[in-house]
Structure 1
Amino acid sequence: MSNEGESTDESAVSYLLAIDQGTSSSRAIVFDAEGRVAASAQRPFDQVFPQDGWVEQDPEALWQSTLAAAREAIAASGVAASSVAAIGIANQRETTLVWDAATGEVAGNAIVWQDRRTAERCERARGEGMEPELVDITGLLIDPYFSSTKLEWLLAQDDLARRARAGEIRFGTVDSFLIWRLTKGARHVTDATNASRTQLFDIGRQVWSERLLDYFDVPVSVLPEVQDCVGELGIADAQWFGAAIPICGVAGDQQAALIGQACFAPGLTKSTYGTGCFLIANTGRERVRSRARLLTTVGYRIAGDPCYAVEGSIFNAGVAIKWLRDKAGLIETAAETEAVARRIGGDTGGVYVVPAFTGLGAPHWRPDARGLVTGLTLDTGADEIVTATLKSVAFQTADLLAAADADGVPVKALRVDGGMVANDWFCQFLADVTDLEVARPDNAETTVVGAGLLAAVGAGMYADLESAAASWQLDRPDRTFTPHATRAARSAWLGGWHAAVQRALSVPALDPLTGLLDRRGFMSEAGRRLQLADRRDGPLALLYIDLDRFKQINDGFGHAVGDAVLHAFARVALEGVRDDDVVARIGGEEFVILLDATPLEGAKRVAERIRTEFRRVAVDGLPDDFAVTLSVGIAASVHGENLEAFMARADAALYEAKAAGRDCVRVHQEPASHNIGPGP
């Protein structure tokens, strides 16, 4: 590919407009038919963080930044809009939007792929045994990352569920939304790669899954029509660019990068380092069923024939560098990180950074994990932390490659792209830690290159992707980095990294809304205390608590009021127990309290005190005469009983309280002998 600014005879050449709508910016490039860059433009935009773990975007910012970047690129190229033969679109995947089918007005902000608000819902699905079926149908594990639970959450807001059933609402990932806007509502479509990331699409049959639409309560009328990655997916109205332009290629950003790296044969692998890091290996027509907790996805689909891939997803890569700059204040520009790493010879002095700002992706899939810095000493400075953050991205890549190898997809060489690979030190360390040759292309922004290539094939300029890639010279890397590290050095690096990850995974997990322990945190702490109680032969009491008629509060007064009720209960519960007792929110409106060295009568007094006090709490948004009540079940621990059996007995007592009319306390007196077993 030649560089921006090289001129061609406009009358003899058709041009392509390639759009890459990303997580933090929208980019557009005007290519000629041979892949030469005529002009480019980029428009950044801000994300919104309403709560811990929540990530949103203003849909109008997505649209306006895309439109502005595309218009600017066309203007800078000097090419008439009528000479643009086709548009290709690559987009951030999984990000979920809903809008009015008649007016196009968007219902609230987009929920971004990084968002973790549905973690509890995912835990419930896992508890219901849904993961094997979901993996079988969609190739995807249960995680808030995907669109399914995001869409379910959105449709539960306000009156959207009723309107969706009435056919008044449309859902789409970002590609669908942009095509809807560009065609002025004429087309509601997506492509197979984006559909495969919703967790609602059957990747074997290549259709929306009726079973999963029913499970997530999604009406089929809200869904876009699924198309191939090439072909005419709509026509952008002349209002936007000065001429009507067909949209001839679409793919999710990571699949577009796979195409932009010319990974068309099974085994060819690319790793993109943008906001997150995404490693994808082409597996051809074979759908690999991962045993190492990677994802099976659609790499691309042409003429109805899907090419499959396995993917490992890292949620925090470039965004970790942005954190160093914008929040930690350790650098002024991302480009400084290379000089920093070289200044200390890459030696972090034993410091490791686990950048789990929004959880850990593959192969751990722990949305509740949070970031960690370990190994700090009095000699640690900013340079060590910056370099350790760079290294963390390479370490996570090594973990993904090990998982791919375990799945029978060995990677012999790695093609890299994205903003981070401009850093030569990072690329060399990546080669060293993975023991692979790392190839960097001439244009590291291969996502937008892939969008252009799809548009070129869709517009009929080339017969297929292979001939287009050959013409665009995509098989000629700018630079190749070969590994130089010893096996001992690699082993030491990865040993320290894996120890740091285990520390991050063992940090008590907190519920982002109430600040209490969440289910995972409670299960870990309660299991430890139950073992101690067994050794000391001391009693534990468990209160299993449910806020009565909580759904009526959410539906009648809104989710903000519901959240205030949850906050109020957390405060009352903490005030009603001792400092060393455990209070946790384990899901929705369910809470547990574990009381140390407390017999049943004492536990009942605590429960009655909390129940009575909570009845008197005034919550903003609720009528003065509206009393929120509790139902409580209590059980005492029994020597040799496991935690699950202990909780089941308290839960049984809770159901007795509900059956008795709610707003009361019930005690489970005797353990069920068949539930008693070895300790956890």
Structure 2
Amino acid sequence: MTPRNDVILAIDEGTSGTRAAVVSADGHVQCLHYATLEIHSPCPGVVEQDANALLERTLSVCRATLSQAAGENLNVVALAVATQRATAVLWDTGTGRALVPAMVWQDTRYAAELSQLAPAWDPILRQTVGRPSGVRSPYLWAARHLRDTPTVAEAFRAGRLAFGTIDTWLLWHLSTARACLTTPTNATSCNAYVLTEHRYQLDWIDALGFPRELLPELRQDADDFGRTRPEVLGLDVPILACAGDQLAGAIGLGCLDPGQAMCLHGTGSFVDLIVGPQLPARTGMSDSTLTMTARRQQGVSHFSVETFVATTGSALDWVCGKLGWFDNARQISALAGTVASARGVSFIPALTGLRVPRMQPEARAALSGISMATTRAEMAFAILEGIAQSVASCIDANQDIAGVPVSALVVGGGLSGSDALLQMQADLSGIPVHRMKETDRASLRGIAYLAGASGLLWDSMQQARATTTPEAVFEPAISADQRAQRRAHWQARVASELDHADALAAKPAGMRTQTH
């Protein structure tokens, strides 16, 4: 019998912020502490973070959580770590400090260089890693720093250079093993993980100029990652799970079975459809609907297909913080709920390019259809509808690749607290939208499930999932004709933006100017 006060310390290190909490056997997430993180974009296509600050803030929220848990007589028995995926770090193992800003997963600075490699490599990559060469590569980024950044090259020559994604970075600092490790749910997003063989696509790694000896060791998402370093957190417990935040969120929302779909709203909005232990029949057939490792445990990989909109939560932050149009996201949701439509106004949340209906990194966000009669509430409605329309497009794309129909969508993440947004999602997708209790804490709960479902807190993943409970269901409230009309209007606006971006991309680099 699990003692009632046993809990798992869970980290959810995202792009916009980092959180820690403890999760108990009833699935309750408590003692939550959060710190914001800054994202820097010094020029179009370049998106970076300070990995040293990210580490310090993650450790800070962990210490705050542990202090509160001790005060409430909770006994931490393991650590579980969920992180943003495909954000890459280079650091000096002598100092433990990052040598350059981390390249965030939204970065597209190497899109042109990767496109030159695509004709030769995409047929191979689609068959093995389930996706084309794409628009960003942590390995190419690191290879360029090895070539162009003296401090990185010097650390490599001295045998002090380490490379990895955020999971690798945190585990190296947290674990007594001080090893560079990564897991399938993270490695899949880096475009060099052979899905069915649990290994790297080494020929592709070589083609990118990345030294094999810097590759993190592949483990499972539920695995033995060593023990925590007492001098770091004042804690000596096993680290039993490490996974990408989106996939941890799917688990935390109860999405384990084929046909279940999930949308996790964070910095971006990610839409996953669980497929099961077999690869979807059309794996690799799309540039933007990608096959993911949903989780790997006990030697078995489970797969999903995924699409995402890179800037949704971050688009609201931009509208509020940088432009000052609204006080915060809650105000946008409240205003949107006061009107029945945007009256022709539309917003495409493509601040770093479009992925659906096709990949176009040159596309940009667009706010159109405004007249002198447009109100602030209609602008708010349009902004949320742009996110909901993007999610509906992602659902369509996922079903096309997976060949599996979606009967319901489970939502999580911060924006899932917006009733107005979820009603729009139901209306535009034509399927019920389920919001679970503590839905904004799904990644914390899911990574704890992975760590504790082998007898520590639960006997199985199914027993762990049984602790999730629904809070609300949003049913479609418009007719099929209305849905088709609103979708067609949106798709026409997206097509217009794609035409403009295609024309821009066809111009010589020196002549590219974003004007509408």
Give the TM-score of the pair, scaled to structure 1: 0.71
Letter in 1 for 2:180: H
2:105 and 2:350 map into 1 onto residues whose CA distance is: 15
Q: 1:508 to 1:351 in 2, by over 3 A?
A: same
Question: Aligned to 1:170, which of 142, 162, 168?
Answer: 162
Helix, strand or coil: the match of 1:502? helix
Question: Aligned to 2:507, which of 494, 518, 522?
Answer: 522
Letter in 1 for 2:479: T
Range with greater deviation from structure 2 (105-114 or 17-26) = 105-114
Relative contact order higher in (CA < 8 Å, ≥ 6 apart): 2
Question: Aligned to 2:198, which of 203, 206, 211?
Answer: 206
Letter in 1 for 2:500: V
| Contact kept in structure 1, 2:25 and 2:458, CA below 8 Å | no
1:52 and 1:584 map into 2 onto residues whose CA distance is: 12
Helix, strand or coil: the match of 1:130? helix
| Aligned pairs (5 A) from 1:6-45 | 13-45=5-37
Say whether residues 1:156 and 2:151 are aligned partners: no
Question: Aligned to 1:309, which of 304, 307, 330?
Answer: 304
1:433 and 1:11 map into 2 onto residues whose CA distance is: 46
2:195 and 2:142 map into 1 onto residues whose CA distance is: 19
Q: 1:405 to 1:92 in 2, by over 3 A?
A: same
1:304 and 1:164 map into 2 onto residues whose CA distance is: 33
| Contact kept in structure 1, 2:86 and 2:190, CA below 8 Å | yes
Helix, strand or coil: the match of 1:430? helix
Question: Aligned to 2:432, which of 426, 430, 437?
Answer: 437
Q: 1:175 to 1:18 in 2, by over 3 A?
A: same
Shift in Å at residue 82 of structure 1? 9.2
| Contact kept in structure 1, 2:109 and 2:136, CA below 8 Å | no
Shift in Å at residue 173 of structure 1? 0.7
Range with greater deviation from structure 2 (179-188 or 16-25) = 179-188
Helix, strand or coil: the match of 2:97? coil
2:28 and 2:77 map into 1 onto residues whose CA distance is: 15
CA shift digits 1:209-257 (9 cap, x unpaired):
2211111111111111111111221211111222212211111011101
2:196 and 2:159 map into 1 onto residues whose CA distance is: 27
CA shift digits 1:623-651 (9 cap, x unpaired):
xxxxxxxxxxxxxxxxxxxxxxxxxxxxx
| Contact kept in structure 2, 1:47 and 1:55, CA below 8 Å | yes
Letter in 2 for 1:409: V
| Contact kept in structure 1, 2:5 and 2:73, CA below 8 Å | no
| Aligned pairs (5 A) from 1:491-570 | 491-508=484-501, 520-522=505-507
Task: Give the equivalent residue in structure 2 for 1:114.
Answer: 106
Shift in Å at residue 458 of structure 1? 5.6
Task: Give the equivalent residue in structure 2 for 1:340.
Answer: 335
2:335 and 2:67 map into 1 onto residues whose CA distance is: 38
Task: Give the equivalent residue in structure 2 for 1:456.
Answer: 452
CA shift digits 1:392-451 (9 cap, x unpaired):
111111111111222212111100011111011111111011000110010112111111
Range with greater deviation from structure 2 (95-104 or 416-425) = 95-104
| Contact kept in structure 2, 1:268 and 1:411, CA below 8 Å | yes
Shift in Å at residue 122 of structure 1? 2.0
The runs of at least 4 consecutive aligned structure 1 residues that moved more than 6 Å come to none
Shift in Å at residue 162 of structure 1? 7.2
Unaligned runs of 5+ in 2: none
| Contact kept in structure 2, 1:20 and 1:448, CA below 8 Å | yes
| Contact kept in structure 1, 2:147 and 2:153, CA below 8 Å | yes
| Aligned pairs (5 A) from 1:113-132 | 113-126=105-118, 128-132=119-123
Task: Give the equivalent residue in structure 2 for 1:557.
Answer: none
| Aligned pairs (5 A) from 1:458-473 | 460-470=456-466, 473=467
Say whether residues 1:95 and 2:98 are aligned partners: no
Helix, strand or coil: the match of 2:163? strand
Shift in Å at residue 350 of structure 1? 0.7
1:154 and 1:273 map into 2 onto residues whose CA distance is: 32
Letter in 2 for 1:454: L
Say whether residues 1:373 and 2:367 are aligned partners: yes
Say whether residues 1:141 and 2:132 are aligned partners: yes
Letter in 2 for 1:60: N
Task: Give the equivalent residue in structure 1 for 2:409.
Answer: 414
Helix, strand or coil: the match of 1:231? coil
Larger Rg: 1
Question: Aligned to 1:393, which of 387, 396, 401?
Answer: 387
Task: Give the equivalent residue in structure 2 for 1:318.
Answer: 313
Shift in Å at residue 382 of structure 1? 2.7
Say whether residues 1:262 and 2:254 are aligned partners: yes
1:83 and 1:342 map into 2 onto residues whose CA distance is: 43
Shift in Å at residue 84 of structure 1? 1.0
Letter in 2 for 1:309: S
1:82 and 1:495 map into 2 onto residues whose CA distance is: 53
CA shift digits 1:20-76 (9 cap, x unpaired):
000011101112232223411001121122212211110111101111111111112
Helix, strand or coil: the match of 1:121? helix
1:30 and 1:335 map into 2 onto residues whose CA distance is: 26
| Contact kept in structure 1, 2:330 and 2:418, CA below 8 Å | yes
Letter in 1 for 2:32: S
Question: Aligned to 2:269, which of 271, 274, 277?
Answer: 277
Say whether residues 1:221 and 2:231 are aligned partners: no
Task: Give the equivalent residue in structure 1 for 2:419.
Answer: 424
Give the TM-score of the pair, scaled to structure 2: 0.93
Report percent identity of matched pairs: 29
Task: Give the equivalent residue in structure 2 for 1:478.
Answer: 471
| Contact kept in structure 2, 1:164 and 1:222, CA below 8 Å | no
Unaligned runs of 5+ in 1: 1-9, 511-516, 524-565, 571-582, 586-680
2:240 and 2:266 map into 1 onto residues whose CA distance is: 25
- Report the aligned-residue RMSD: 2.3
2:147 and 2:379 map into 1 onto residues whose CA distance is: 42
1:355 and 1:269 map into 2 onto residues whose CA distance is: 22
